[in-house]
Amino acid sequence: MKLYIAQATCSLAAQIVANELGLSPELVHFDVVGKTTSNHDDFAEVNPLGYVPVLRIGEDKHDLLTETAVIVSYLADQRPEAGLIPRVGTRERVEAEQLLTFTATEIAQKHIPLMRKLMTPEGTEWTRNKLVAAYAEIDKRLSDGRAFLMGDKPSVVDAYFWATMWHERSGAQIEHLKWVMAHKARMEALPSVQKALKDEADMVARHRALAEAA
């Protein structure tokens, strides 16, 4: 397997899940600004829409998965015994999918135009308010004292939710949400998260060094 990642993006979710499962996909760094990859793959062929994560699961041209929610679910389903995602057909699975979709649409994709400073002042205010409301919902969920979003153990949902905590870059004021902030700290203490951050930093540095040497 080959996992295309970019710096400080939602691809960290896929790395965390792979780490939790003990899987070691080959990591390829995509520079979203320069559009180059660390292994010289043409990213326009990998994903014509130009975004990560992308997971290559085979050699055929169709063996490329996109969409973070799908990639983390696919990975977790490879090792169901690890308990990173509930089994298909259960009420818990639907709940996990609901939270993954919520993270994709109400959180990740709301942050992006703010981070890129693409919005009018009215659009900025509306989107920031939407984000704060979405985080408040998650805060409410965590307020029963559960350690992670699906219960006592980390799941794909935690990985994705944590990987899109871009509030500092998008200006969404959520620091008062104490359950969300405690969850963030708990995630950052996990070895799978620390390894993901280190592997990403190493890949970025290697890619930069290659670009400078060229």
Ligand X SMILES: N[C@@H](CCC(=O)N[C@@H](CS)C(=O)NCC(=O)O)C(=O)O
Report the interface residues with ligand X, using CB under 6 A.
Answer: 6, 9-10, 32, 50-52, 67-68, 104, 112
Q: How far is the CB of 47 from ligand X (least distance, A)?
A: 8
- C-alpha to C-alpha distance for 184 and 163, rounded to whole angstroms: 10
Q: Is the Cβ of residue 51 or residue 135 nearer to ligand X in the bound state?
A: 51
Q: How far is the CB of 163 from ligand X (least distance, A)?
A: 8
Q: How far is the CB of 13 from ligand X (least distance, A)?
A: 9
Q: Is the Cβ of residue 7 or residue 78 nearer to ligand X in the bound state?
A: 7
Q: How far is the CB of 161 from ligand X (least distance, A)?
A: 13
Q: Is the Cβ of residue 166 or residue 179 nearer to ligand X in the bound state?
A: 166
Q: How far is the CB of 176 from ligand X (least distance, A)?
A: 25
Kindly report the backbone phi and psi dihedral angles of residue 177, in degrees, each rounded to the nearest multiple of 5, phi listed first. Answer: -85, 90
Q: Which residues contact 152 (CB under 8 A, 6 or more apart)?
A: 146
Q: Is the Cβ of residue 48 or residue 145 nearer to ligand X in the bound state?
A: 48
Q: Is the Cβ of residue 87 or residue 116 nearer to ligand X in the bound state?
A: 116
- C-alpha to C-alpha distance for 192 and 189, rounded to whole angstroms: 9
Q: Would you state the structure tokens that stand for residue 124, as one six-digit string?
A: 């900025």
